[in-house]
Structure 1
């Protein structure tokens, strides 16, 4: 594993830890600044495209304020470094809790693409795109294997 790949995977884990901890300050540090040439972007599963750092960070603040518990187990992590850009794809295996006081849990799976840009402050998140993986009851019984 290259030094860049290791650094990117570290900041990627910090991104998910910030979500789990509801740490908006850390989330703010992880996202890149908008530039004259472009703005950061984010697509949460089931949401429309969000563009611009303030809009993206506002979305995370809303998610964190309305999430009582969330845990991510990342699998199938693949990192490609292309100069000052890096693309990390992964599967987010997500466990969430119901409303506060409820003892219900739900599990889901999202395929995510995270694009990082090298900045003077290190690798920063430029784009996050999460797409839900729809599973039938049969898929879940077969431990996530897809039928042809």
Structure 2
């Protein structure tokens, strides 16, 4: 594993830890500053695209404020580094709790693409795109003769 690949994986894990801990300060450090007319973007599952650093961070603040519990187990993590840009793809296996006081839990899977850019401060997130995986598709494919 290259130094860049390891660094990207570390920042990626920090991104998911920030979500789990509802740590907006850490989330703010992870997202790139916008420069040269480029805008960071985020596609949350089921949402329209969110563009611009302030709007992206606002979206995470809303999610964090309305999520009493969330845990991510990342699988199938793959990193490609091309110069000062890195693409990380993974499966987010998610466990969430119901509303506060509710003892129910729900599980789901999202596939994600996270694009990072190299900055003087290190690797920073430029684009997060999450897409839900419909449950049951794998089972149906396996049962088809």
Question: Would you say same fold, with TM above 0.5?
Answer: yes
The alignment partner of 1:109 has SS state of strand
Q: Could you tell me which runs of 5 or more consecutive residues in structure 1 were left unpaired when the two chains were aligned.
A: none
2: distance between equivalents of 1:96 and 1:15? 17
Corresponding residue of 2:29: 29
Mapping 1:1-148, distance limit 5 Å: 1-136=1-136, 139=138, 142=139, 146-147=141-142
SS at match of 2:100: coil
| Deviation readout 1:37-75 (Å, 9 max, x if unpaired) | 310000000000000000000000000000000000000
User: Structure 2: any 5+ residue segments left out of the alignment?
Assistant: none
Please give the per-residue CA displacement for 1:16-46, whole angstroms capped at 9, x wherever unaligned. Answer: 0000000000000000011123100000000
Distance in 2 (CA, whole Å) between partners of 1:50 and 1:146 is 34
TM-score of the pair, normalised by structure 1: 0.93
Question: SS of the residue aligned with 2:25?
Answer: helix
Q: How much has 1:146 moved relative to structure 2?
A: 4.3
Separation in 2 of the partners of 1:55 and 1:68?
22
Question: What is the aligned length?
Answer: 143
Change (3 A) 1:19 1:146: farther
1:135 & 1:66 partners in 2: Cα distance?
24
TM superposition score normalised by structure 2: 0.95
Runs of 4+ in structure 1 displaced over 3 angstroms? 145-148
The CA RMSD over aligned residues, in Å, is: 1.3
Q: For 1:146 and 1:94, how far apart are their aligned partners in 2? A: 23
